[in-house]
């Protein structure tokens, strides 16, 4: 690899770019972003070697797209229009079906690998980029059979160099499952934050009474609206289904509290304690 | 101080006992618990020096009650019946109004200090006890004027030795506010865990797709039902109110997704991002 174009030099794109430097020190990394300030910041932080434009993707061996999904839906076809035959184009979006659908008839569909690295933090921008962010994390790859074999191989080599575990999924199944384990967590946290802030007009009460439990549960409410609004729009059907199930469970829990059904409350929580074993299973990869 | 009785030798009582040893090495710590296994474990871990019975509180200079609130409502009056005039009885329960009400006419009400340390983890039992758990954490004290002045002083000295920040509150206000910043977080996490587990019959999907965001948001779903069912029962009115607000906000968010109201979603999240500043304010005390 000689040239990598990183489209979107924020948390995910910037972290990827840092890892590329670590594992492929000879590669020139060109940053492409709508946000000129992000580009300058990424350059000054050494996250990229050069500021580029979309037409620079013609020079790339690998293009990494890490921008909000509404923007990716427009940019991905333009990138595929221009890339060379040997280039692999990977995205990092949190939804996969609409992107796969958007380029399914593109003459260069075989250059695209639909991916979703299960990695990130609640922060954003080039200064939030972290070297080693992807180490031990899962890379979900969708519709792998639509990507040229040699380009699959090339992308896998990079993901493995970064220390990722690879999992293959159907794009539609990905979107439904991720609505539960990721999108719903974000909505849950955002609405918890909103509910508490509405109640506590005097913020000093929050300062003094909130502990590490609240902090952990509400952490994702710091996340970027520019990233998340497009995800909820794009994955509407699965998000609404997951959210409806969640609300139904909350309503039921409320009815148990109202009915003084102590055993019912106890049993619900005891059954849910099984999440311990599931989270323990996650431990080495996701800590 | 010569003797401290710790009623409930789990996470909170055990951690308190460890700190007492650190700061008052001459004190004998007597553990009292319904759970014989916990008592043996606490003894073998050095969390207490001696296993006792409830009647041993007569020997105590300080009694620390850290048991589920339904049990505390029964035990606190029995403790006050027996303690010596110079002893201070402190509890650590997550609700305060019902306890204050239960002993408001007790002849030894002045020996009781109603407290709620904002500290803990999602784990339980003597093996979960952590030295230094209370350092830098907030100790909320309710109805302080009902406690004998000398006993307030004695308890404060201990809390300060442990490194705690003291805040005074009305018991009813405490219960309403804590429903939002603590009890609601737990329900939110428990129901998130339940919703995801119901959906994902094949747990491998959770293992592979859940990242640190889900882990953080669902962490409190590991908490002890034996502690939390009594809290929800005890604080029913405030919990139902907080939960109703939360469900209303989730329903509204869902309606914005359904209506494709992109700007509405964006604005809700952007406004909630202000939680960043609130959580930053928490940082040194609660990390």
- CA–CA distance, B94 with B232 (Å, rounded to integer): 10
pLDDT at A211 > cutoff 50: yes
User: Does residue B144 sit at the A interface (CB-CB below 8 Å)?
Assistant: no
- CA–CA distance, A188 with A205 (Å, rounded to integer): 22
pLDDT in tens, B137-179: 999 999 999 999 999 999 999 999 999 999 999 999 999 999 9
List CB contacts (< 8 A) between B216 and chain A.
185, 216-217, 219-220
Interface residue of A167, A211, A248, A252 to substitute, partner B, most B CBs within 10 Å: A211
Tell me the nearest-neighbour CA distance from B248 into chain A, angstroms.
9
B41 and B158 Cβ atoms separated by less than 8 Å: no
CA Rg, chain A, in Å?
Answer: 21
Burial class (CB in 10 A: 0-12, 13-18, 19+), B119: buried
User: Does residue A261 sit at the B interface (CB-CB below 8 Å)?
Assistant: no
User: Does residue B220 sit at the A interface (CB-CB below 8 Å)?
Assistant: yes
- The pLDDT value recorded for residue A282 is 59
Q: Do B225 and A185 touch (CB under 8 A)?
A: no
pLDDT at A109 > cutoff 70: yes
User: Does residue B201 sit at the A interface (CB-CB below 8 Å)?
Assistant: no
Tell me the nearest-neighbour CA distance from A175 into chain B, angstroms.
11
- Give me B162's structure tokens: 């442990």
Q: Rounded to 5 degrees, what angle do the CA atoms B73, B78, B79 make? A: 100
- CA–CA distance, B74 with B70 (Å, rounded to integer): 7
Q: How many CB pairs under 8 A join A and B?
A: 317
Q: What is the ipTM of this complex?
A: 0.91
Q: Rounded to 5 degrees, what angle do the CA atoms A137, A28, A42 make? A: 70
- Give me B23's structure tokens: 């700061």
Domains of chain B and CATH, by start: 3-169 (3.40.50.720), 174-286 (1.10.3660.10)
> pLDDT category, A49, cuts 50, 70, 90?
very high
- The pLDDT value recorded for residue B206 is 66
User: Does residue A283 sit at the B interface (CB-CB below 8 Å)?
Assistant: no
Query: Helix, strand or coil for residue A35?
Result: coil
Q: How crowded is residue B283: how many other Cβ atoms within 10 Å of its Cβ?
A: 9
- CA–CA distance, A145 with B182 (Å, rounded to integer): 47
- The pLDDT value recorded for residue B211 is 87
> pLDDT category, B284, cuts 50, 70, 90?
very low
pLDDT in tens, A225-268: 999 999 999 999 999 999 999 999 999 999 999 999 999 999 99
- The pLDDT value recorded for residue B207 is 66
List CB contacts (< 8 A) between A226 and chain B.
266
Average pLDDT, integer, range B245-250: 98
Of the candidates A261, A280, A21, A30, the one whose C-alpha atom is nearest the C-alpha of residue A162 is A21
Q: How much is the mean pLDDT over chain B?
A: 94
pLDDT in tens, B63-80: 999 999 999 999 999 999
Burial class (CB in 10 A: 0-12, 13-18, 19+), B206: buried
User: Does residue A259 sit at the B interface (CB-CB below 8 Å)?
Assistant: no
Q: Element (H or E) spanning A168, and its range?
A: strand A165-169
DSSP B73-138: HHHHHHHHHH--TT-EEEE--S--HHHHHHTTT-TTGGGEEEEEE----S--SGGG--TTTTTT-E
Q: Which residues contact B57 (CB under 8 A, 6 or more apart)?
A: B5, B7, B32, B63, B79, B82, B83, B87, B89
Angle between helices B262-272 and B236-258 (to 10 degrees): 140
C-alpha to C-alpha distances, A74 to A14, A65, A68, A79, A99, nearest whole angstrom = 21, 11, 10, 9, 9
Q: What is the pTM of this model?
A: 0.91
A285 and B206 Cβ atoms separated by less than 8 Å: no
- Give me B19's structure tokens: 């700190």
Query: Which chain A residue lies closest to B227 (C-alpha atoms)?
Result: A266
- The pLDDT value recorded for residue B278 is 81
């Amino acid at each position: 690899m000689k040239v990598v174009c990183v489209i979107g030099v924020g948390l995910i794109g910037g972290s990827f770019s840092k890892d590329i430097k670590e594992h492929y020190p000879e590669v020139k990394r060109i940053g492409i972003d709508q946000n000129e300030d992000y580009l300058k910041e990424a350059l000054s932080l050494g996250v990229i070697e050069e500021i580029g434009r979309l037409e620079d993707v013609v020079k790339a061996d690998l293009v990494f797209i890490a921008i909000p999904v509404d923007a990716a839906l427009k940019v991905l076809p333009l990138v595929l229009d221009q890339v060379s035959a040997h280039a692999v184009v990977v995205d990092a979006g949190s939804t996969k079906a609409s992107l796969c659908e958007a380029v399914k008839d593109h003459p260069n569909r075989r250059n695209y690998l639909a991916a979703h690295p299960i990695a990130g933090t609640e922060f954003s921008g080039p200064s939030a980029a972290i070297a080693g962010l992807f180490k031990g994390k899962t890379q979900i790859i969708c519709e792998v059979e639509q990507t040229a074999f040699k380009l699959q191989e090339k992308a896998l080599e990079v993901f493995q160099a970064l220390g990722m575990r690879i999992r293959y999924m159907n794009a539609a199944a990905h979107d439904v499952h991720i609505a539960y384990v990721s999108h719903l967590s974000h909505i849950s946290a955002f609405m918890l934050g909103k509910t508490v802030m509405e109640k506590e007009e005097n913020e000093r009460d929050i300062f003094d009474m909130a502990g590490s439990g609240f902090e952990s549960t509400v952490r994702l409410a710091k996340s970027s609206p520019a990233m998340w609004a497009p995800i909820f729009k794009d994955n509407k059907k699965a998000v609404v289904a997951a959210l409806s199930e969640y609300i139904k469970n909350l309503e039921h829990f409320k009815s148990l509290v109202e009915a003084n059904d102590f055993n019912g409350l106890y049993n619900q929580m005891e059954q849910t304690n099984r999440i311990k074993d599931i989270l323990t299973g996650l431990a080495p990869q996701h800590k």
